[in-house]
Structure 1
Amino acid sequence: MKTAKQVQNDYTKGIILYALLYAAILFASIYAINKFNPNNFVKIFLALMTSLPIGGTILVFLNYIKNADEFIRAQVVEVFVKATGVTFFIATFWGFMENYTAISNIDFYMTYPIFWACFGLMQGIKKVRA
């Protein structure tokens, strides 16, 4: 069994790795689209490649939950569920505002950073209440 420090280090290294990979692929994709104006098939492929590191961060997070002790796991899962609920609420509320008013839309890919912002907020609220 890994120590809490090892689990945290694995998580940090994994997140940094996938964040750097995401940034590199994102910049390369934007450059390729602006420089070469590829066809839609290539653009779809670039969108997939840009999204794959996001899947990697999710796997790293799931591995963190799996390897954490029971107390940390329970705390993280509770915050995760609350953040998911808040993200769903924001997405639904914003969608109705788009339908009912002239408010501009939020790009769908913003759901992921919005979720992590909600996760941080929920974690902060949990710590303040403790």
Structure 2
Amino acid sequence: MPMPPEIKRYTRRLLVTMTLYGVALVGANMWFRHAPPAGLLAYIVAILPALPIMGVFVVIGRLLIEMRDEYVRMQFVRQSLIATGVTLSITTAWGFLEGFQLVPHAQGYYAATLWFSSLGLCVMVHTVREIWRARV
């Protein structure tokens, strides 16, 4: 089955965005390790790896706008909402545990990692369910 053109564009955009993320992350880490910037420049360099991650959310939004298959779009929106609920639930619970000094501090950027992991898990579960339904 051929890949729809909007998925090809999404994949290309995601590849570019994640490549920029890798370059920004490695570059910022190396810069801080070998010749740490100071002042405003330090803040700018520290934020650089976050920009491509923000771009991934834009890429996902564009995919939702460009998707022609309304059923697939609805499934993706549902999976995104589940991933958002899982992420907000876990980060809220962790925040309370952290507030009562029962767990160590977690860096805020782990929320994006948790969201992407939750989304991936939702997509996997949905795919397995669809395969299972097709066989039964």
TM-score by length of 2: 0.86
Query: C-alpha separation between the residues in 1 aligned to 2:103 and 2:47?
Result: 29
2:117 is equivalent to residue 117 of structure 1: yes
2:82 is equivalent to residue 88 of structure 1: no
Higher relative contact order (CA 8 A, sep 6+): 1
Runs of 4+ off more than 3 Å: 127-130
Cα-to-partner distance string for 1:43-93 (whole Å, 9 max, x where unaligned)? 210122221111221111111111112111101001101110010000011
2:42 is equivalent to residue 43 of structure 1: yes
1:108 is paired with a residue whose SS is coil
Query: C-alpha separation between the residues in 1 aligned to 2:124 and 2:8?
Result: 21
Query: C-alpha separation between the residues in 2 aligned to 1:54 and 1:88?
Result: 18
2:84 is equivalent to residue 79 of structure 1: no
TM-score by length of 1: 0.90
Shift of 1:4: 5.5
Moved more, 98-107 or 58-67: 98-107
Query: C-alpha separation between the residues in 1 aligned to 2:79 and 2:87?
Result: 12
2:48 is paired with a residue whose SS is helix
Residue identity in the other structure for 1:19: M
Structure 1: runs of 5 or more not aligned:
none
2:20 is equivalent to residue 26 of structure 1: no
Query: C-alpha separation between the residues in 2 aligned to 1:49 and 1:117?
Result: 22
**Which residue number corresponds to residue 4 of structure 2?**
5
Q: CA RMSD in A?
A: 1.6
Between the aligned residues of both structures, percent identity stands at 26
1:46 is paired with a residue whose SS is helix
